[in-house]
Copies of this chain bind each other. A is one copy, B any other.
Amino acid sequence: MSRAFRASAVLAACAVLGGPVLTAQSDEGMWLPTDPPRQQLKDKYGFDLTDAWAARAMRASVRFGGASGGFVSPDGLIVTNHHVGADSIHKLSTKDRDLLRDGFYAKTRSEELKCPDMELNVLQSIEDVTDRVNAAVKPQMTTAQAFAARRAVMAEIEKESLTATGLRSDVVTLYQGGLYHLYRSKKYTDVRLVFAPETGIAAFGGDVDNFEYPRHGLDVCFFRAYENDAPAKVADFFKWNTTGPAENDLVFVTGHPGTTNRLETLAKLKHRRDVTLPYTLYRLRTLEAALTQFSEQSPEQRRRASADLHRVANARKAFAGQIQGLLDPKILGQKRDAEAQFADTLKTQLTGSGQADERYQKSLRRIADLQAVFAGFEKNYYLIERGDAFYSELFAVARHCARMADELPRKSADRLREYRDSNLDSLKLQLYSPAPLYPDLERRKLEASLTFLAENLGGDHPLVVRVLDGKNPAARATELVADTKLFDVAERKKLVEGGKTAVDASTDPLVKLARAIDADARVVRKRYEEEVEEPERQAYAEIARLRFLALGRTVPPDATFTLRLAFGTVKGYEVDGAALPFHTTFAGAFARADALGNRDPFELPSRWRDGKAKLDLSTPFDFVSTADTIGGNSGSPVLNRAGELVGINFDRNRHGLVRNFVYTDIQARHIAVHSRAVLEALRKLYGAGELVKELTGQE
């Protein structure tokens, strides 16, 4: 971020945070696919969003864990971002076959590479189950009882649905507790890699250009879903548009935005600013430093750490943008005004309906009080229960093995939520993944996170003493990784299948560590769930009820990693008086590489340098639009009015980093790879004529 962060300058035209005013002029909103803003689209863009359009968009959208993608052929071909696929591409790589560095293309289907542990989900239906969830929680219940009852009914609904439909079934909390929806998804677990460009062009500009524009990245890759060892036949897919978007076109973004905080209260946002984000940034910088130092040791260590390092650096940059946003007094000032204005609205519109403004104020105070409660044990919760103290794939495996021994004998409804019946298959796919793990990397990550634990709690804290077991963090990490057998998937299965007897008898140091901290971890989780999560839900549910009463459903829920539809206009913007065009070109990528000495992260792959003459350098590369996106939208198909794919979203610009809290379209944009860029590169540089044909019907 070399220039000023101009969040404050762009706020003039912002929608009021969490408040009542959403003008027809604004493109704000990550809308439920079953409840899109038809009237707004009609009024502003003269576009009739039909049920068929919406249904196809829903069933052609693919969820990649915490990210997005879309079907682009009837044979199960899927496009997403390279950085979304990178985890699997990394797992398919070895020292001698570095698919991240060198790229990959399966010329024939038999060459497509099966991912070791990828699960994709395609949403089939949404059902409102709010009444049933809330009915399970009785007014006289303590928050502990309420939490247990809510968890139980959600697990019950999910299990019934799974049994009845065979579809993955998840109850999703919307409006921070205002609504509960049951999402049913078709699941694919045989997913194969079809095409990936080199990281050098997919992530051209690296961390420097991340969250920046102008941008020059071919951040795409292709997978294919299989069923019964054959390409999945799908009825709904996005036709690849060979022209791409023009300036001022209306576009749609369909995908899985992760987390926004626009409906959170001022007190909650201040808590994020002063407690949660500082801790988070301290943690991310600690991990990034450790991974960077590990990477510098040799090219192979750089390769090993690359997936982790990208994730951590990306999160660091996003959270750094968030804290700048929350430290901007204008943003929180606007939130304060919005709360006051909503209180006024309640007073004037809902007189007589049980002192609505008092109920609102009481909920605001309740949420403020809960932040103080949470601050008292928040670090412990993150360190011990969330696992920040144990940044290691192997530790996560060990903990699951240990906890499954305790949890699985219980009724599904009484288990910790991640062990509910309807989630077990997905969990085991991860747990039994044959993807390679690297002892030196695991050791370094554990050393960093165990040290972070001690830094946060102090060397004499009983838990720290127990975890370190008489060594310093470095020596303890060495011992844990040297002596564990959990690199071997068969050992993991033995522990899960052997149940409590096997786990109790295990001498594996990671399993022993997971057991040694489990009582503490469960205590702090219980505190969180009962003293913070449940009462917060209740307070937010009250606010949501008041909002529905006063304003109807005009405000979409905050993002929750579930499918949403956004819309916007393709257009450039101004920075410091200079106009940035709505798209970049291939020529721009070469110019930038030259200007920066062709050095990492601006080093173009040799295929690009050598193949420059073959390319039409005026081909549009990346483009921007005003549509409302956030992390989790990575890989989202960008569609035109006809529902054809014109781009693949992969980022926001830095002006969009405050989108967690506020939508603006003055400078904030999402960034997408242009559909023509993909075709031009596939044809001219990658010899991927078959893939182009599958996408377009033409060579």
Q: Which residues of A come within 8 Å of B, CB atoms?
A: 1-8, 206-208, 270, 273-274, 277-278, 281-282, 285-286, 288-289, 292-293, 296-299, 316, 320, 323-329, 332, 440, 444, 447, 451, 454-456, 458-460, 468, 470-475, 478-479, 596-597, 599, 601
A270 partner residues in chain B, CB cutoff 8 A: 459-460
A320 partner residues in chain B, CB cutoff 8 A: 451
Counting from the closest, the 3 A-B pairs by CB-CB distance are A278-B455, A5-B474, A274-B458
Q: A289-B285, A327-B459, A460-B270 are in contact. Are A474 and B4 (CB under 8 A)?
A: yes
Tell me whether B471 and A8 are in contact (CB under 8 A). Answer: yes
Q: A274-B458, A278-B455, A459-B274 are in contact. Are A297 and B327 (CB under 8 A)?
A: no
A444 partner residues in chain B, CB cutoff 8 A: 2
Q: A285-B289, A474-B324 are in contact. Are A599 and B299 (CB under 8 A)?
A: yes
Min C-beta distance of A463 to chain B, whole Å: 14
Tell me whether A451 and B324 are in contact (CB under 8 A). Answer: yes
Other A-B pairs beyond A282-B282, A299-B599, A324-B474, 16, CB < 8 Å:
A2-B440, A2-B444, A4-B475, A5-B472, A5-B478, A8-B472, A8-B475, A207-B296, A208-B293, A278-B456, A296-B601, A299-B596, A325-B472, A327-B451, A327-B459, A327-B472
Bound Cα distance A182, B2 (Å): 48
Tell me whether B297 and A2 are in contact (CB under 8 A). Answer: yes
Bound Cα distance A298, B473 (Å): 36
Min C-beta distance of A19 to chain B, whole Å: 21
Bound Cα distance A31, B336 (Å): 63
Q: A282-B282, A474-B5 are in contact. Are A459 and B326 (CB under 8 A)?
A: yes
Q: A8-B475, A474-B324 are in contact. Are A316 and B289 (CB under 8 A)?
A: yes
Tell me whether B325 and A459 are in contact (CB under 8 A). Answer: no
* Beta-carbon nearest neighbor of A285 in chain B: B285
A297 partner residues in chain B, CB cutoff 8 A: 2, 208
* Beta-carbon nearest neighbor of A464 in chain B: B327
Task: Return 10 A-B CB contacts under 8 Å, by A number.
Answer: A2-B297, A2-B440, A4-B478, A6-B475, A274-B458, A278-B455, A282-B285, A288-B289, A327-B454, A328-B472
* Beta-carbon nearest neighbor of A332 in chain B: B459
Bound Cα distance A206, B297 (Å): 10
A274 partner residues in chain B, CB cutoff 8 A: 458-460
A281 partner residues in chain B, CB cutoff 8 A: 286, 455
Min C-beta distance of A583 to chain B, whole Å: 23
A4 partner residues in chain B, CB cutoff 8 A: 474-475, 478-479
Bound Cα distance A507, B224 (Å): 64
Bound Cα distance A325, B459 (Å): 11
Min C-beta distance of A484 to chain B, whole Å: 15
Bound Cα distance A270, B459 (Å): 8
Tell me whether B5 and A475 are in contact (CB under 8 A). Answer: yes
Min C-beta distance of A458 to chain B, whole Å: 4
Bound Cα distance A599, B296 (Å): 10
Bound Cα distance A293, B472 (Å): 30
Tell me whether A455 and B323 are in contact (CB under 8 A). Answer: yes
Bound Cα distance A599, B298 (Å): 9
Tell me whether B456 and A298 are in contact (CB under 8 A). Answer: no
Bound Cα distance A4, B327 (Å): 41
* Beta-carbon nearest neighbor of A320 in chain B: B451
Bound Cα distance A444, B2 (Å): 8
A2 partner residues in chain B, CB cutoff 8 A: 297, 440, 444
Bound Cα distance A4, B446 (Å): 12
* Beta-carbon nearest neighbor of A278 in chain B: B455
A468 partner residues in chain B, CB cutoff 8 A: 327, 329
